[in-house]
Amino acid sequence: MMWAVVLIASAVGGCFGSPMGEANTTDGGLAAGIDLPWPEDGQTSVMVEGLGDLGGKGEREPVPIASVTKVMTAYVILKEHPLKGAATGPVIEVDRQAADESSSREESSAPVREGQRFSERQMLELMLIPSGNNIARLLARWDAGSQEAFVVKMNRAAARLGMTHTTYTGASGIEPTTVSTAADQLRLARQVMKNPVLRSIVAKREVTIPGVPGTIVNTNTLLGRSGVIGLKTGSTTPAGGALMWAAEAEAAGRTWLVLGVVLHQSAGSPPATGLQAALDRSRTLIDGVRASLDSLIAARAANEQDR
pLDDT in tens, 54-71: 999 998 899 999 999 999
Residues 33, 77 within the same domain: no
Residue 47 lies in a domain: yes
Containing domain of residue 139, as a range?
64-177
Positive or negative: CA dihedral 186, 189, 190, 191: positive
* Domain edge (last residue) among 177, 209, 232: 177
Whether 118 shows a pLDDT value over 50: the answer reads yes
Q: How far is CA 17 from CA 10, 164, 203, 280, in A?
A: 10, 9, 29, 27
Distance between CA atoms of residues 40 and 36, nearest Å: 11
Residues 113, 131 within the same domain: yes
Burial zone of 169 (CB within 10 Å; 0-12 exposed, 13-18 middle, 19+ buried) = middle
Residues 68, 38 within the same domain: no
Q: Please compute the mean of the pLDDT values over residues 2-12 and round it to a whole number.
A: 31
Please answer whether residues 233 and 279 qualify as being in contact, where contact means their C-beta atoms are separated by less than 8 angstroms.
Answer: yes
Residue 204: count other Cβ atoms within 10 Å of its Cβ.
16
Residue 196 lies in a domain: no
Residue 194 lies in a domain: no
Query: Domain tally for the chain?
Result: 2
CATH of residue 113's domain is 3.40.710.10
Count of residues making up the chain: 307
Residues 30, 132 within the same domain: no
Provide the pairing of β-strand 254-265 with 240-251: antiparallel
Residues 246, 300 within the same domain: yes
Point out the catalytic residue in the list 18, 102, 109, 131.
131
Active site residue 67: yes
* Domain edge (last residue) among 177, 201, 235: 177
Point out the catalytic residue in the list 67, 102, 226, 266.
67
Q: What is the pTM of this model?
A: 0.89
In this predicted structure, what is the pLDDT of residue 296?
87
Distance between CA atoms of residues 228 and 251, nearest Å: 16
Residues 96, 161 within the same domain: yes
Residue 197 lies in a domain: no
Burial zone of 228 (CB within 10 Å; 0-12 exposed, 13-18 middle, 19+ buried) = buried
Residues 137, 72 within the same domain: yes
Distance between CA atoms of residues 111 and 100, nearest Å: 10
Residues 75, 142 within the same domain: yes
Residues 302, 237 within the same domain: yes
Q: Please compute the mean of the pLDDT values over residues 36-48 and round it to a whole number.
A: 95
Vertex 144: Cα angle to 142 and 146 (nearest 5): 85
Residues 299, 234 within the same domain: yes
In this predicted structure, what is the pLDDT of residue 54?
92
What does the pLDDT look like over 66-117, one tens digit per residue?
A: 999 999 999 999 999 999 999 999 999 999 999 999 988 889 999 999 999 9
**Torsions phi, psi for 242 (to 5 deg):** -140, 150
Active site residue 235: no
Please answer whether residues 86 and 78 qualify as being in contact, where contact means their C-beta atoms are separated by less than 8 angstroms.
Answer: no
Residues 153, 228 within the same domain: no
Q: Which of 262, 261, 259, 249 is nearest to 295 (CA)?
A: 249
Residue 109 lies in a domain: yes
Residue 245 lies in a domain: yes
Active site residue 70: yes
Distance between CA atoms of residues 69 and 24, nearest Å: 23
Please answer whether residues 275 and 233 qualify as being in contact, where contact means their C-beta atoms are separated by less than 8 angstroms.
Answer: yes
* Domain edge (last residue) among 146, 177, 208: 177
| % residues pLDDT > 70 (the chain) | 88
Residues 28, 72 within the same domain: no
Residue 99 lies in a domain: yes
Residue 203 lies in a domain: no
Distance between CA atoms of residues 102 and 100, nearest Å: 5
